[in-house]
Structure 1
Amino acid sequence: MEYKSVDKLHIDNRGRLLDSKGIEDKKEEIIIKPLVAFLNKFSSEGGVLILGIKDKNHLPVELAPAEPKIFTPERLRNWISNYISTIPSTKDSPDIEIKNIDVNGKIVTLIEVHPKDFNTVYFSRLTNDVYIRKNDESVLCTLDETMRMTEEKIIAKVFVDLKVIEKEEIDENWVKYQIEFQYINEGNKPGEWVRLLLEFQMKQGTPADIQIQSLPAPGYRKPVGSLKTFSSGFQQDSYTKDVIYSKGVVGYKIGKLEIKIAKTALAEMIINTFEYKGFMSQVFSISAKEINEITREFRSYISL
């Protein structure tokens, strides 16, 4: 959270935000800089900018609200959209919530932002500067820091996509699935040296209630390897050095599994995919009725 006084800000007849002398544009320091810093966090946390409050040592000390006509949500939203951009470009614009609070006929404005694309670096289009948060402050990034951030954020996100190609009721007790696995890269950079760890855990029933085996998959680049029994279920480990191309490219097929499960059983398949700069975790529920993805998460190593 950051507080900014607006007592030196004024708006001209064309909607431009100027200081009291009309010489210097203050949008950068008061509005754009803190919002860019919030958006450059490595999480969806974002931040809140409060306009109309003076602070001291990052704590609010005095109200300094604006005239109602100055900070309309529409005008602020336009300023933010026009003056904040990303490297590389993104289609997932940040969530922006703007709320005006009336204080004795004047306005205190809350601007809350949350990034949705974590493969990008946000910067000010007014100055081309990049800002980050350090010790509860919004500070300018050095060129080296900006280059490091860009490199860290332009990364692969290699998930596993499952397709049930056959489902068969064997008898009154068992159901059989044939499942096709393929890598899908949702990031902005090809993935290389990808490691996949596949684990099955029983949530209802015992390991005897599920049978798993690899199927021949001619034409598939990397078959899903053999499965090994261990204390809580089954585990499989495979590794490929081939390139997993970035989003928009057809998936990379890696093999097939046959899964037989008792109708009274419930299992979870946990897939952890490790790439050079991050790892992806997915959990699928498996029952005689269906196979569903429950959770999907990406974590950059530098965020740990």
Structure 2
Amino acid sequence: MDNRSSMGSEEWRPTSATSSQSGAAMNWIVEHILTYPKVYCTLPLRTTYILNSTAASASDFRMTLLEHIASLPSQPLSLPPSFLCSFIKKCFPEDVNSVSFDQALTALDYLRNLEERRQRDYLAASEQDASDPRVLELKSRVSHICVWYNRALVGLRKWALIHELEIQPFRKYNCIAMLNTLYPLDEPDINHYLQAPELAKQRQQLWRYVTQCEKNPSTIDALKRSNGGWKTVHDSVHSYLRLAVDMIGKSEEVLSRPQSRQRGSIGSIESIELEKGSTLEKIVFELGGGIMSNSSSERSSIEPVPAGETYYDDEKTFYE
């Protein structure tokens, strides 16, 4: 099962009272889905895992769907990037023994939400004056951020499955449920670099580890050591977060201060406002980048992507 629950063969026979209540509820569900279709593109990973881990009868699926919808706000909202970054950093510290794998699915949802926010703000900013140097700079950084996002996402998916494989006693069906949650069947393209064929290949590779681990648990060690281990994943996550927050801030600056409004003279009100905006952006970035750590050395441990450096040559090697 993937993000869509498969109705089991067990037939559910509602009572007359249940039929009346569920009929009204289903009408409300349909109205809500039609009003906010984007909210239902993907269920939260935690909800998906629950559905994947249980024998899904029609009543189970309906109850889970109702609970999920009831927990949604009446209007769609987006969490601030600083909060998303803080949660992800707290969930995935440098020491693998301190990682909150119980919160990993929520953190992966937040990682996707941050990337969607970055893409939305970037697209809005890129539609502004094409001659604006700030817009040109944003466009030059897109490929770098996509690479870091892919590395972070693939690495976190792998380690979430590793955690499930290490739980004793070993439960193969729970591991399969986690694999189906992280890599749904027929998953569509995520971006230009993570397309459906590559995602299917990654899923197949992890599936082999699930079957091998059942016979020989020591195979997990090889999976842990692959691609630089946890430290590489941690560094990729933190690099992506810093670059994503920086692009969101610069995109908002482009949208709020078009190039045509930046020509105030030195000392004018317009110039002072621009200076304040830049200072505020710097403060917000520092909070978003280091709110979960009091160590300045930790915040500076991940170097930004050097200008002009690319990572395309080793992309294929990284994902294999």
Report the TM-score, using the length of structure 2 for normalisation: 0.23
Q: So what's the TM-score if we normalise by structure 1?
A: 0.24
Higher strand share: 1
User: Which has the greater radius of gyration?
Assistant: 1
Quick check: which one's helix share is greater?
A: 2
